[in-house]
Structure 1
Amino acid sequence: MSRLTYRRRDLIKAFQRIIHAESFGGIFLFVCALLAMIVANSPWGEAYFELWHQKLGIAYGENGYLGFSLHLWINDVLMSFFFLMVGLEIKREFLYGGLSGFKKAAFPAIAAIGGMIVPAIIYIIFNAGTPTAHGFGIPMATDIAFALGVVLLLGKRVPASLKLFLVTLAVVDDLGAIVVIAIFYSSGVSLFWLLCSAFLVGVLVALNYAGVRSLIPYLLVGVVLWFCTHESGIHATISAVVLAFCIPTEPKMKPQAFMEKIDEEIKHFSHSEKERENVLLTEEQIHQVEGMKKAISQVQSPLSKLEHFLHSYSTYLIMPLFAFANAGVSIQGGSIDFSSSHIIYGVALGLIVGKPVGIFALTFLCEKLGIASRPEGLSWSYIFGAGMLAGIGFTMSMFVSNLAFIEASYVDIAKISILCSSLLAGILGSITLLFLGKKTNVLKSQA
């Protein structure tokens, strides 16, 4: 084999390692956001903005049309799959993960609440009495892909418990963002469609209670639920979270029964193989292979199976596409009116200052009052550093800004504020955690 072939194989393996790295999602998001800003301010800028207004759907009759603009397909339909994954993650964490018990959940949950309340207050202080006051939800959000990506890039320089703390905090933060969207960013609720949605939620609960473990019925009902929720005036992505909470966690086959089944099939398969020399499988062996495939499918939790399936699409398609479609803002020729500077102050100070202060202050107060205690191995300095990284709002903040403002100039100012503030929060958080990591290593070496 030639040296060129070896080199090509090594490059492919290196590329695969980069793609499958946990930090890749955050890096890819950043690249797509940067690319969107470049294209929006290039000679192709006009085509870039026109693209997202193109209609995509089916025309019927004389004036009938079923569909949305490309921008709405991404923000309402594709993002529903992202919210479905978020909902599955929240449910898993509450049942089996870092939020499964009060002692484990209390500290990061309190941190998340502090990280939502203080940024919202800061935003309201600067925007109270203005047409932009409704955007208080923008600095409340944390982008887990970016924040976790930074922690993973820092590697062993930060304690492992920091990753768990940040992930758990972000899960509660996502839940808070979902509640805020449902309550404050819904428009003109229709009682009829709301009742239809409630009925469909009842159907999902009944399916779960009846022990239905196939995902197909849930997903079919989920599609209709999305439509009814969209028509009700509540943002349709909320239906995806409700669907996630109704997906079963119990598999059809218990692990012990699965192992017994696989052992039995392997024994029969091996016995059949000894009696012949043909390379082709016998009918009996094919039957045994099918039995093993069925058992493998049945031992997987429907929740875990769906979450695993959605994770790749979310990381490599949905989130990057959302970033590319929403991060592009034209800043050429003074096209943006920066007179609404109160949005900038509210978003920037909310994310950069409000997040770390809110997370640190509320957790510090609760520990002193005996309500919750810090995870082992996490100093207050690391808590503050994690709070800085939580100031990376990006995806969820941009999502909320699209809901909060109708006027395009407000949305553009909010997006620029989010991008700059998230970048600064990431840099400050990284520097803080790097400094703390070096300081900890020095103290260890002296000891």
Structure 2
Amino acid sequence: MRAESSGGVLLVIAAVVALIWANSAAADGYLQFWGQKITLGAGDFAVTHDLGHWVNDGLMVIFFFVIGLEIKRELAVGELRDRRAATLPAVAALGGVVVPGLLYALIAEGEAIRGWGIPMATDIAFAVGVLALLGKHVSAGAKLFLLSVAIVDDILAIAIIAIFYTDRLSMLWLLGTIVGLLVCVAMRRLGISSPWAYVPIGVVVWFATLESGVHATLAGVALGLLTPAGEVRGRKVLDTLEHDLHPVSAFLVVPIFALANAGVPLGDGALAAAYANSATWAVITGLVLGKIIGISGGAYLASGLRWGTLPQGMHPWEVFGVAALGGIGFTVSLFITDLAFADASLVSDAKVGILTASVIAALIGVIALIVSPRAGGGGSGREA
């Protein structure tokens, strides 16, 4: 919680800096800086992208690797291990994916329809950062519920990226990815526990995934899921990696990503043009209304049908506030935006929608949690 909340604050700062930079007298410098071409490798293995793409395709692998580790931990030893405890947040997260996507599809027009996956994601660092600001006004159960929903949300968002946002597919390179992952499995069975031993093969898996047409960051998720949750020769590999890499992801990778992607020009009528576009309102509606209706509806449905129960100490009214915070879809939503659209104007409009929705969702969530019956009742929440 402390790492996520601190990372969320830094994420907001980076996003604000990007917005100021992209709308200042140095706006051309912003575009030139992230647009400069960089080549990695040599010969047949040389890859050239601009700096912004290297951030999204390369640096973000660390972010998605950490997500893979978190998912593996929750499935193996965490809250999602117990079926009954996992059912309610899973149904809530599913509702928080399906309803926003449907609302987006109903509003978006023309080419904008391809961005239906944008409002499906929740930014866990941003949302937990907002939640942490409320302190004792929020029960420990509500925090646990948000984290569980966000983890399942991540699983669904990753599946969407893999299945629906892959434009081309090279079976030969994809085979290379699979072979690389099998090598990792073999190394694990041989008891090799040093993370450094996996770095070379990890780079190979990343490169093969990049060339296959599947988004390269999914290599990070796959490698994270293959990390053993138990001890290997007395070494807790997953715990060590998560402990070491989470700060790198939260305090370096995600802020750099925000700096590279949140710089949306808002002057010269750009803001008015964005609010006149269906894509912008589709994103706002999906993230704000879609998440509230989907997450809270899914949670209440699962609870009413006795498929699962809310975490101990969480008041049912807190579900609405947590659901609203689920509408903060910053990092992964921005990520999907760049995958969904080739048109720069659509990218800009969708980003305006994401920024607007994230602010609205945060405000609604904060107000809802402050006035909920849990407000001021932090004692029992801590006991939970």
What secondary structure is seen at the aligned counterpart in 2 of 1:89?
Answer: helix
> Displacement, 1:377?
2.2
What is the aligned partner in structure 2 of residue 35 from structure 1? 17
| Structure 1 Cα separation of the partners of residues 305 and 374 of structure 2 | 32
What secondary structure is seen at the aligned counterpart in 2 of 1:216?
Answer: helix
What is the aligned partner in structure 1 of residue 359 from structure 2? 423
User: Do the aligned partners of residues 141 and 22 (structure 1) sit closer, same or farther apart at CA in structure 2, a change above 3 Å counting?
Assistant: closer
What is the aligned partner in structure 2 of residue 172 from structure 1? 152
Aligned residues: CA RMSD: 2.1
The equivalent position to 1:333 in structure 2, one of 262, 268, 273, is 268
Letter in 2 for 1:390: G
What secondary structure is seen at the aligned counterpart in 2 of 1:57?
Answer: strand
> Displacement, 1:189?
0.4
> Displacement, 1:403?
0.4
> Displacement, 1:23?
2.0
Do the aligned partners of 2:228 and 2:237 also contact (CA within 8 Å) in 1? Answer: yes
| Structure 1 Cα separation of the partners of residues 150 and 45 of structure 2 | 42
> Displacement, 1:440?
5.8
TM-score of the pair, normalised by structure 2: 0.93
> Displacement, 1:436?
1.3
> Displacement, 1:230?
0.7
User: Do the aligned partners of residues 59 and 84 (structure 1) sit closer, same or farther apart at CA in structure 2, a change above 3 Å counting?
Assistant: closer
> Displacement, 1:437?
5.3
What is the aligned partner in structure 1 of residue 290 from structure 2? 354
User: Do the aligned partners of residues 157 and 233 (structure 1) sit closer, same or farther apart at CA in structure 2, a change above 3 Å counting?
Assistant: same
Unmatched segments (≥5 aa) in structure 2: none
Residue 220 in structure 1 maps to residue 200 in structure 2: yes
What is the aligned partner in structure 1 of residue 163 from structure 2? 183
What secondary structure is seen at the aligned counterpart in 1 of 2:49?
Answer: strand
> Displacement, 1:170?
0.4
| Structure 2 Cα separation of the partners of residues 92 and 190 of structure 1 | 32
> Displacement, 1:357?
0.6
* Structure 1 stretch displaced more, 136-145 or 195-204: 195-204
What is the aligned partner in structure 1 of residue 93 from structure 2? 112
What is the aligned partner in structure 1 of residue 55 from structure 2? 74
Count of matched residue positions in the alignment of Structure 1 and Structure 2: 377
Letter in 2 for 1:408: A
Letter in 1 for 2:35: H
Structure 2 matches for 1:228-243, cutoff 5 A?
228-243=208-223
What is the aligned partner in structure 1 of residue 35 from structure 2? 53
Unmatched segments (≥5 aa) in structure 1: 1-19, 254-298
What secondary structure is seen at the aligned counterpart in 1 of 2:81?
Answer: coil
The equivalent position to 1:247 in structure 2, one of 214, 222, 227, is 227
Letter in 1 for 2:28: E
What secondary structure is seen at the aligned counterpart in 1 of 2:117?
Answer: helix
Bigger radius of gyration among the two: 1
Do the aligned partners of 2:144 and 2:311 also contact (CA within 8 Å) in 1? Answer: no
What is the aligned partner in structure 2 of residue 92 from structure 1? 73
Do the aligned partners of 1:218 and 1:247 also contact (CA within 8 Å) in 2? Answer: no
What secondary structure is seen at the aligned counterpart in 1 of 2:38?
Answer: strand
What is the aligned partner in structure 2 of residue 140 from structure 1? 120
What is the aligned partner in structure 2 of residue 272 from structure 1? none
> Displacement, 1:250?
2.8
> Displacement, 1:65?
5.3
* Structure 1 stretch displaced more, 417-426 or 49-58: 49-58
Structure 2 matches for 1:154-173, cutoff 5 A?
154-173=134-153
User: Do the aligned partners of residues 247 and 60 (structure 1) sit closer, same or farther apart at CA in structure 2, a change above 3 Å counting?
Assistant: closer
Do the aligned partners of 1:58 and 1:65 also contact (CA within 8 Å) in 2? Answer: yes
| Structure 2 Cα separation of the partners of residues 23 and 246 of structure 1 | 27
User: Do the aligned partners of residues 186 and 437 (structure 1) sit closer, same or farther apart at CA in structure 2, a change above 3 Å counting?
Assistant: same
The equivalent position to 1:301 in structure 2, one of 236, 242, 259, is 236
TM-score of the pair, normalised by structure 1: 0.80
Do the aligned partners of 2:328 and 2:361 also contact (CA within 8 Å) in 1? Answer: yes
> Displacement, 1:51?
0.8
User: Do the aligned partners of residues 339 and 394 (structure 1) sit closer, same or farther apart at CA in structure 2, a change above 3 Å counting?
Assistant: closer
Letter in 2 for 1:107: L
| Structure 2 Cα separation of the partners of residues 431 and 415 of structure 1 | 24
Do the aligned partners of 1:218 and 1:243 also contact (CA within 8 Å) in 2? Answer: no
User: Do the aligned partners of residues 369 and 58 (structure 1) sit closer, same or farther apart at CA in structure 2, a change above 3 Å counting?
Assistant: closer
Q: Which runs of 4+ in 1 moved over 6 A?
A: none
Do the aligned partners of 2:145 and 2:310 also contact (CA within 8 Å) in 1? Answer: no
What secondary structure is seen at the aligned counterpart in 2 of 1:68?
Answer: strand
| Structure 1 Cα separation of the partners of residues 209 and 37 of structure 2 | 21
What is the aligned partner in structure 2 of residue 11 from structure 1? none
| Structure 2 Cα separation of the partners of residues 80 and 67 of structure 1 | 17
User: Do the aligned partners of residues 440 and 155 (structure 1) sit closer, same or farther apart at CA in structure 2, a change above 3 Å counting?
Assistant: closer
What is the aligned partner in structure 1 of residue 250 from structure 2? 315
Structure having greater relative contact order (Cα 8 Å, sep ≥ 6): 2
What secondary structure is seen at the aligned counterpart in 2 of 1:328?
Answer: coil
